[in-house]
Chains A and B, each alone.
Chain A
Amino acid sequence: MAEGRFSLEAYEGILTSHRQWTLMGHSMALSFWVMLLTTIVGVPLGVLLGKTNLPLRRFFIFLFVIPLLIPPYITAVSWFDLLGREGLLSRLIGPSFAGMSSRFLFGLPGCVAILFTTFLPIPILLTMVFLRTVNPRLEEAGKLVSGWRGILKGITIPLILPGILLAAMLTFILSFGEFGVSNFLRYGVFPVESFTQFSAFYNFKAATAAAVPLVLVTFVVLLSEAGFLREKTFRLRPSAETEDLPLIALGTSRNGLFVLVTLFGFFLVIVPILVLIVQSANIQAYAEALSRAGDSLLRSLFYAVIGATSLTLFGFFSGYLIQTKTFRYWRAIDFTTIFLFALPGTVIGIGLISLWNTPYTNFIYGTLWIIILGYLAKYTALTSRITVNQLTQISPAMEEAAQVAGAGWFRRLIFIIIPLARRGLLAGWIVGYIFSLRDTAITMLVYPAGHDTLPVRIFTLMANGSAQLIAALCVMLILATLLPAGILWLIANPLLRKAKR
């Protein structure tokens, strides 16, 4: 809109500008390489962790998931602290190495490497989840005529192919919408353009126009997912015989593979965290971090708790409607939540501003609720899918029995469905907490004055803060993400498990 009239001026600029096409090419290349590499590495790793007798599998799963739980630009900061011109390695090896590693980091390879680390858990986890849906009897039938290599190639992998394709699609669209890493490593992609037009030039028209291709690409990718994969991946019903899932005995290669996975996990996950810890190993750095961003940290925790609770509630109800199909337009709810999740955070932020920045809605736009609405828009898909999967495992007869006994919908929900789905609700709350806390893109665009969160404060301090301060803030954010969620899971999960018995 321009001067109250709809205008195509900004869109013409996009279609005719060489720069815009270059950005689109960069975005596509980045997403493609991340998708390809995460699939090539993540699927075998998922098979190894979900289907073999590799030692410490649970620990490795936790380890590889960590990068997904923290904002990707934090990983970029840690690699920068290691490989940058003034990084730890350049101090150890010398400036010639630093020049080479810095060139690698700033550009497509560096962005691909960091987003690879971030999104690698997606194919790992989806491969593991889909492996659990394969009926063990099908593999046992194959075992009569073939070894595990043949079974994996001929039976298991073809059966879980929809899951692998789903993971590839997810990593593609999530990489396509990621802006923090590309922004930090100065690699021009579309989400950065949209963000810069808004935050640096406050050109709302250009920012909106730059967001449109992102919406279109997301829409096209999701439509193809709906067309080709949805019926195959919609419900991840674990095989009835998950208790006796046959594991592949690795035999003599077990120890070798264990060392390989350990080294891989060490370099991919532990090294970046260690770098941040080493870089920030100074009491003063933490004192400064607390004095400059202590309020943001507290706000982050508070908003994450509100966000997680709202996400659990909304996710539960939307998941319930999707799973039970009681609402006629359940497919529309499902598609909308997934579409919003796939949409870049910058686009959601711009959408929220367009919608709520009016004199009549300042009670939303000028308060923390604009941030919470952003969390709800972006992450309801996660809690909704967790609910759908949890409810799929509850026999419909449970609710029907309550219905015949005379219980209305609300009573059934409170006394039957929610207690039976409580572990899913807990998992949903923790996922909601983590993703609310790590959110950068939406919060960065919509936060009202005095409402910035820790990821946003770190992002803004990166321009002029010392490396030590930034590293200390990053460590604080990692602890704020992992510690409360981990402690809650460790305490509540065994209690719920016990109560269920």
Chain B
Amino acid sequence: MKILRMNSVTKFYEGTRALKDLSLEVSESERIVILGPSGCGKTTILRLVAGFMAPEEGSIFISGQLVSQDGHIILTPEQRNLGMVFQDLALWPHLSVKGNIAFGLKAKGVQKQERETRIHNILQMVGMEGYSKRKPDELSGGQQQRVALARALVLRPRILLMDEPLSSLDLELNIRLREEILRLQEELGFTLLYVTHDREEAFGIANRVVILSKGRVEFDGTVDAARAHLTQ
């Protein structure tokens, strides 16, 4: 079964058509990267999947369940069991690292003992064990990325959505964090839907690349095929 299915989705954004009759299917544990220039509609796809907006036309299914259709949100973001790493990370500045990670677990009613274990494990996985009491602004850019990743992954999401999360980092850190994302994905087996405008970043993460142009899918295939398509 496909974990995500978008059927003939059309979305208008601020008066212009951001997505045109777009269809996309994603299998479990796939690492799919949506690649394209600014304004091509890639972030709109993530926001539609997350449930922050509904498509004007078309439907979206997650794990076979209809989540939005023809302008209506059927499952709200909090009901979809997804994880998301935002472009600006959106770490809550008034909460500590632990508070940021615990927030979703508390919202889902996870018991304290299990919560503590899961927080401990995820912090260990992202290499941030000693930082649980720090506030986000006491961390470096790379450390903040790791916390954002931990906050999303601790909820064991069906799909992890990442919206250009590494765009503000220098090349060295960008490469190191890409490797960490790959390691975590292999360990935990989540499905990754990753958005970027950077080709190298896309090819470094994806096992499938979707190239978007003016709200339409221009290409959908493997990394090698994407490379070939782009050099034509």
Contacts and interface: CB of A to CB of B under 8 A. Distances in A.
Interface of A: 395, 397-398, 400-408, 411, 415-416, 419-420, 499-501
B107 interface: yes
A400 B86 contact: yes
Q: Pick the most buried of A403, A416, A499: most chain B CB atoms within 10 A of its CB.
A: A403
B104 A406 contact: yes
A-B residue pairs, 8 tightest by C-beta: A405-B104, A397-B90, A407-B107, A401-B90, A403-B77, A406-B107, A397-B86, A419-B94
A395 B103 contact: no
A398 B107 contact: no
B90 A395 contact: yes
Nearest to B161: A404
A362 B32 CA distance: 66
A500 B76 contact: no
Given A406-B107, A407-B103, A401 B93 contact: no
Size bracket of the B interface = 20 to 34
Which residue, B81, B82, B94, has most C-beta atoms of chain A within 10 A?
B94
A501 B136 CA distance: 9
B229 interface: no
Interface in B47-101: 50-52, 76-78, 80-84, 86-88, 90, 92-94
B151 interface: yes
A423 to B, nearest CB: 11
A299 B224 CA distance: 78
B78 A404 contact: yes
A407 B155 CA distance: 12
Interface of B: 50-52, 76-78, 80-84, 86-88, 90, 92-94, 103-104, 107-108, 135, 137, 151-152, 155, 161
A392 to B, nearest CB: 15
10 contacts: A398-B92, A402-B92, A402-B104, A403-B52, A405-B107, A405-B151, A407-B107, A416-B92, A419-B94, A500-B93
A408 B135 CA distance: 24
Contacts of B161: 404
Nearest to A405: B104
A420 B77 contact: no
Contacts of B93: 420, 500
A411 B50 CA distance: 19
A401 B84 contact: yes
A419 B77 CA distance: 22
B86 A408 contact: no
Contacts of A405: 78, 103-104, 107, 151, 155
Contacts of B52: 400, 403
A484 B190 CA distance: 55
A410 to B, nearest CB: 11
A417 to B, nearest CB: 10
Contacts of B90: 395, 397-398, 400-401
B77 A404 contact: yes
Contacts of B50: 400, 404
Nearest to B137: A501
A499 B108 CA distance: 27
A495 B88 CA distance: 27
Contacts of B92: 398, 401-402, 416, 420
A419 to B, nearest CB: 5
A420 B155 contact: no
B77 A411 contact: no
A403 B83 CA distance: 10
Contacts of A420: 92-94
A404 B160 CA distance: 11
A489 B137 CA distance: 25
Contacts of A402: 92, 103-104, 107
Given A398-B90, A420-B93, A408 B78 contact: yes
A378 to B, nearest CB: 32
Given A400-B52, A405-B107, A408-B107, 13 more contacts: A397-B87, A400-B77, A401-B92, A403-B77, A404-B80, A404-B82, A404-B83, A404-B161, A405-B103, A420-B92, A420-B94, A500-B94, A501-B137
A500 B137 CA distance: 10
Contacts of B51: 403
A406 B108 contact: yes
Contacts of A408: 78, 107
A401 B93 CA distance: 13
Nearest to B102: A405
A415 B103 contact: yes
A405 B50 CA distance: 11
Nearest to A402: B103
A231 to B, nearest CB: 14
Contacts of A415: 103
B125 to A, nearest CB: 18
A501 B135 contact: yes
B135 A395 contact: no
A420 B94 CA distance: 7
A378 B66 CA distance: 46
A500 B138 CA distance: 12
B45 to A, nearest CB: 15
A409 to B, nearest CB: 9
Contacts of B78: 403-408
A404 B47 CA distance: 11
A419 B103 CA distance: 14
Contacts of B82: 404
B162 to A, nearest CB: 12
Contacts of A500: 93-94
B94 A499 contact: yes
